Structure 1
């Protein structure tokens, strides 16, 4: 229970100053002669006090269950219009606790909130919706002005809840038979103006940090290491606005920064990410006005940027100055505008205005298990020999997609059989789902684009570490496109660029880097308005081949 012995903010800061003053040669007895501030001084009034959890009976011995004591400290802090709840040095075992408005949870450098290993010590967060489970370690609902800060740790002890089952929310699973009865580390629901900074979040039994229907979110300098259970996401957002993520380091097992639903006005900058699955994962809803810049992505084998949408309104996404090292994917955008009633396009849905600028990437042949993830992860056939995939399905088109100053080095090794593939499945699945049918992998090694309007490739270079028999670029039913300054390796058994039933495509200043059978192959009677202007194609045996019904007037060679 709370006592008057709790320290005021000024008292706490004065105590912290004493060692530094002693080092500086200050006269400690003189300081001691000054009376300690009483609780009547201005900074100890409600809203400015320090609530040490030890004063409420908590013990940081790594044995005692401290749920009631920590909750009592939070409740007292909230009742007095806020302040700081202090987690001092020690291991404080705890079950479910609720953060409340105007409370700052400060974890000292050696302070650790350690999740109980007993399921009965956790409950569903009161008011947290049940989707994806709502059992939780720390939660807040309808709260304002919350802060979690400090160099300490929030540790979910999540390996104790591993039973080999995930939540089965992956492609086509729909959660059937999934494991939802395990605690998320942190869930904030319908909270406004909160800040989380500097803390270490680790070993969640489920998602690490779920941010649902929140506004004015600041996430700064957070370190996440979350690889002890299935569905170990990093940040998971649903329907949140005005979110700003800076200087964070995320290593997790599942989606590192999932943005599902209608997330808007989001910035991510100066962060590093690694995961088995995806980094930036977008689902259905209204994902709009999102900027990702100055980020490092490494050892990520489920596509760093993955947009898989059915009925959605996705627009104004920018990805710039990004390094990707050892990834698969590396970018996958899939969209279907079909309505439930049939094949008619749903004009209320769209995926448009997405730019990729200043991208450097190395793409490996296939996923590799992370040595620090104890359980193996399934590899899908379509993850082998992956490429950039832009996949509009049916009557749906991706619109206004651009790649500028992009250099990607692929592992290579694609086969002639892959290159001959023309019948690409009409599914808006995750990128590896599109390429799951034999022969494995996509027919292009660089970029495959289907059903795209206003597509731009400007100063793009595709290299391979070993020979690849597939084209570098395939456009299928692409309209209003330009390829400016493409540099790409070729194969003597294939073409560098393949265009299928596409129109109004300008190709200028291309360079063929290695010997190739054909520079440009145009297919299909619907192809028209294709203009080739300049470039260095000397290493291609043939500059142009027309095939599968393409007319002689479909291409103008400059």
Structure 2
């Protein structure tokens, strides 16, 4: 018989769980043998508790305070994982602990996307086709034993694989970042991986040092991610080919890679759009690893692994086979990181995208970057994508790297179309030279898309090339020290409309 205290806890939990029916049955991992001492492997006990909840028709698997050392945890439908205060799920390290992560799926053609995107089971927590699943805090997921590495795509063209900033990197350094697939057997390189799930809720917990991806959701529908704090060594939240996703009130620090990123890869064997996505009230940053969580917000790291400055941004791309539509980014902050990037280089169409009310500080590349590219990493017949119907408004950015103006860059014959910049206020560091003003940025159509792909730009405020029907309404530009370049450079932009822009000289 439940005590009054247990009944009270059950009732309180029921009001907080996204799936209240799960509250009726609670399964403590300790009742299934978990020690939570940080030394004993608790993988079997945790999976037994999940199996018990699933066999009962659903329930809540509870992690009381403690440190639970685990290899792969396998999610089941209609199960909630509840990490109570003081609970930590720690990723075991196969080089130190007896065991291994579940092996990556076989039979997946890792041709157009890298290893991390192509597999899900080689993760700390994974679910394939699960429905009505939640992972809730306030505990911590610590990916201590995960690896951030993994081999790249097996694409034959071998163009646009890596940023141009990596062109002089020694082969040995690249091999360390991209080991052979055989070296990945038994290793885990994601904290949470979801494939083709539905009705998934992730809320209220923290994540630290989580490998290639803290969260990878591929082909998932009705996904809600709220109130997470993520401080990790590569990607934070990746929404790949998802439909109907909300990311809200999350703080994501990723100095080495993207913080919140929407993709449309070929990982599921077909081109699937990412659509109906809202990202709001989130904070992204590129502080030194771990220093967002501990509050020190360090800025000692000078370069990310791609040899550009720290990353940590919101981005659409790079994998873009299926394209993106109906995406809203609003009320977000960017600190000590790269700016907003909207990219399609693998044939997909980027349309009906709105970004508004963004505040940026200490921006390490361009504050706004739109790019159509011709990488075409996809099957035969893959064409060149399109950008159309983008609204970016009410953006304020300060402390911007002087080399990289806000950019809208299409290709000859493939312009970015119907883009509106409204009420944008950008303050750059300044310092560009007269020699910089004479530069002619290369087209580099097949290159990996990054603001640095063009080198230092010949204008310090805005660069537009190969774009049609662009509207600029209320663009205010400034520099903190003199810059010898003009504020604007526009090439091949028919239908350009400019209003309320003080520095403009049309």
Give the TM-score category using the shorter length: 0.7 to 0.9
Query: For residue 224 of structure 1, what is the aligned residue in structure 2?
Result: 230
Aligned partners of 2:331, 2:62: CA distance in 1, in Å?
Answer: 34
Aligned partners of 2:474, 2:33: CA distance in 1, in Å?
Answer: 64
Query: For residue 393 of structure 1, what is the aligned residue in structure 2?
Result: 411
Contact 2:21–2:59 (Cα < 8 Å) also in 1: no
Q: Secondary structure at the match of 1:71?
A: helix
Q: Which runs of 5+ in 2 are unaligned?
A: 13-19, 154-158, 164-170, 265-272, 287-309
Query: For residue 300 of structure 1, what is the aligned residue in structure 2?
Result: 337
Please tell me whether residue 314 in structure 1 is matched to residue 347 in structure 2. Answer: no
**Cα 1:96–1:470, aligned 2, differ >3 Å: closer, same or farther?**
same
Please tell me whether residue 431 in structure 1 is matched to residue 468 in structure 2. Answer: no
Please tell me whether residue 12 in structure 1 is matched to residue 14 in structure 2. Answer: no
Which segment is superposed worse, 270-279 or 322-331? 270-279
TM-score by length of 2: 0.78
For residue 502 of structure 2, the aligned residue among 480, 487, 494 is 487
Q: Which has the higher contact order (CA 8 A, sep 6+)?
A: 2
Q: Secondary structure at the match of 1:136?
A: coil
**Cα 1:125–1:110, aligned 2, differ >3 Å: closer, same or farther?**
farther
Contact 2:160–2:446 (Cα < 8 Å) also in 1: no
For residue 267 of structure 1, the aligned residue among 275, 278, 281 is 278
Please tell me whether residue 258 in structure 1 is matched to residue 247 in structure 2. Answer: no
TM-score by length of 1: 0.71
- Distance apart, 1:425 and its partner CA: 2.8
- Distance apart, 1:48 and its partner CA: 2.0
Aligned partners of 1:241, 1:45: CA distance in 2, in Å?
Answer: 25
- Distance apart, 1:306 and its partner CA: 4.0
Which segment is superposed worse, 184-193 or 384-393? 384-393
- Distance apart, 1:157 and its partner CA: 0.4
Contact 1:393–1:428 (Cα < 8 Å) also in 2: no
- Distance apart, 1:308 and its partner CA: 4.3
For residue 460 of structure 2, the aligned residue among 438, 445, 450 is 445
Query: For residue 392 of structure 2, what is the aligned residue in structure 1?
Result: 356
Query: For residue 237 of structure 2, what is the aligned residue in structure 1?
Result: 235
Q: Per-residue displacement from partner, 1:468-510 (whole Å, max 9, x unpaired)? A: 111111110001111101123xxxxxxxxxxxxxxxxxxxxx5
Query: 1:30-179 counterparts in 2 under 5 A?
Result: 48-118=24-94, 120-124=99-103, 131-133=114-116, 134=119, 135-158=122-145, 161=147, 167=151, 171-173=160-162, 177=175, 178-179=178-179
Aligned partners of 1:290, 1:449: CA distance in 2, in Å?
Answer: 23
- Distance apart, 1:427 and its partner CA: 2.4
Q: Secondary structure at the match of 1:413?
A: coil
Please tell me whether residue 416 in structure 1 is matched to residue 403 in structure 2. Answer: no
Contact 2:29–2:63 (Cα < 8 Å) also in 1: yes
Aligned partners of 2:198, 2:59: CA distance in 1, in Å?
Answer: 17
Aligned partners of 1:216, 1:128: CA distance in 2, in Å?
Answer: 27
Aligned partners of 1:312, 1:198: CA distance in 2, in Å?
Answer: 34
- Distance apart, 1:15 and its partner CA: 5.7
Query: For residue 33 of structure 1, what is the aligned residue in structure 2?
Result: none
Contact 2:351–2:388 (Cα < 8 Å) also in 1: yes
- Distance apart, 1:310 and its partner CA: 3.6
- Distance apart, 1:334 and its partner CA: 1.5
Aligned partners of 1:233, 1:171: CA distance in 2, in Å?
Answer: 19
- Distance apart, 1:128 and its partner CA: 10
CA RMSD for the aligned pairs? Answer: 3.0
Query: For residue 553 of structure 1, what is the aligned residue in structure 2?
Result: none
- Distance apart, 1:312 and its partner CA: 1.6
Aligned partners of 2:65, 2:400: CA distance in 1, in Å?
Answer: 43
**Cα 1:426–1:89, aligned 2, differ >3 Å: closer, same or farther?**
closer
Contact 2:22–2:60 (Cα < 8 Å) also in 1: no
Q: Which runs of 4+ in 1 moved over 6 A?
A: 44-47, 337-340
- Distance apart, 1:460 and its partner CA: 0.5
Contact 1:336–1:396 (Cα < 8 Å) also in 2: no
Query: 1:407-556 counterparts in 2 under 5 A?
Result: 407-422=425-440, 424-427=442-445, 429=447, 430-436=449-455, 441-488=456-503, 519-520=505-506
Aligned partners of 1:102, 1:125: CA distance in 2, in Å?
Answer: 24
Q: Secondary structure at the match of 2:123?
A: strand
- Distance apart, 1:364 and its partner CA: 3.2
Aligned partners of 1:345, 1:263: CA distance in 2, in Å?
Answer: 17
Please tell me whether residue 290 in structure 1 is matched to residue 292 in structure 2. Answer: no
Aligned partners of 1:80, 1:217: CA distance in 2, in Å?
Answer: 24
Aligned partners of 2:239, 2:344: CA distance in 1, in Å?
Answer: 16
Q: Which runs of 5+ in 1 are unaligned?
A: 19-43, 366-383, 489-509, 511-518, 521-558
- Distance apart, 1:423 and its partner CA: 5.4
